[in-house]
Amino acid sequence: PLVKDLFGLTELEERIRSHFGLKQVVIVPGDSDTSPHTKKELGRAGAAVLLKHVSQDEVIAVTGGSTTAEVAYHLSSSNSLKGSWFVPARGGLGESLEFQANTIASTMAKKTGAKYRLLHVPDHLGEEAYQSLMQDSTILEIIQFIRKARIVVHGIGEAMVMARRRKVDAGTTSNLQQDGALAEAFGYYFDRGGKILHKMPTVGLRIEDIQEMDCVIGVAGGKSKGEAIASVLRFGQEDILVTDEAAAIEIVHLL
Ligand code: G3H
């Protein structure tokens, strides 16, 4: 039997897949919270899933984070990607440079031999700055380009961990907490039931763009993220989940 079956991972994959109506679930053994090796395997599995689903000449949107950075690390030169473009899913969310979507998109392009386009918008935009950016023709042009993506690779985080890491202001953070925010993905915060509570004020993909995509790939693992991953799955737009054993066990406990 496959090593996976010995761990019962194939069965776990099928339980999560059928419960949430996903196209595919891939589970790697271990817990990314405590094992750097598992986190690497998560990245490797994410890279394999991405390469399997891309077709010629397409726009691939990616989010930031340490997990998508692992996916980028494991990509390699691919003929099927030569005519494709990697783009950031959304602009400045307050991440450090190495975890920014722009950085991940350019790394993915360099690794695979694809092209990339970047979105340069400042972090922590106020409403007024946001509105005026939306009038800028170069920004509008790249946003239109990003919205052509039919495939997105994204991380999932715990709401409070992400709010802290991205230095979300105290007022917004306490509102999120009071409203029961559990998860964050592509700059949106979700409650337990998968309802959107808050949208980070930046540009790029909107929720309606994500709803229309053919292939939404979530890559996230670690026991601590189980609840957050379940929240995003309840939101109902995911097609493929790449996760690890520890997160998968948490998710199954919540079903
Ligand atoms: O949206 C969620 C975050 O990008 C997840 O970041 O992969 O570093 O936990 P992480």
- Cβ–Cβ under 8 Å, residues 189 and 235: no
Which tokens go with 52?
């399997």
Question: Splitting the chain (255 residues) into consecutive groups of 10 residues, what average pLDDT does each group show?
Answer: 74 97 97 98 98 93 98 93 95 90 97 95 82 89 96 98 94 96 96 95 91 96 98 97 97 94
Burial (Cβ within 10 Å: 0-12, 13-18, ≥19) of residue 60: buried
Closest CA to 32 of 245, 176, 255: 245
Determine which residue's CA is closest to atom 9 belonging to ligand 1. 157
Surface-to-core class of residue 69, CB atoms within 10 Å of its CB (0-12 exposed, 13-18 middle, 19+ buried): buried
For residue 137, how far is its CA from the centre of ligand 1 (angstroms)? 30
Instruction: Give the pLDDT score at 25.
Output: 98
CA R_g for the chain: 17
**pLDDT for residue 92:** 84
The minimum-distance atom of ligand 1 relative to the CA of 187 is: 1
Q: For position 168, what pLDDT does the model report? A: 92
Distances (CA, A) of 39 to 16, 74, 178: 20, 11, 31
Phi, psi for 233 (deg, rounded to 5): -65, -35
- Tell me the pTM: 0.96
Ligand 1, residue 63: give the atom nearest the CA. 4
Token look-up 């700059």 returns 187
CA distance 251 to 238: 15
Measured distance between the N- and C-terminal CA atoms of the chain, rounded to whole angstroms: 28
By most ligand atoms within 8 Å of CB, the mutation choice from 156, 189, 235 for ligand 1 is: 156
**Is 32 near ligand 1, meaning CB less than 6 Å away?**
no
Distance of CA 142 to the CA centre of its chain: 20
Half-sphere exposure of 145 (CA within 13 A, CB side): 18
ipTM: 0.98
Q: Is the CB of 112 under 6 A from ligand 1?
A: no
* Position in ligand 1 atom list of the atom nearest CA 68: 7
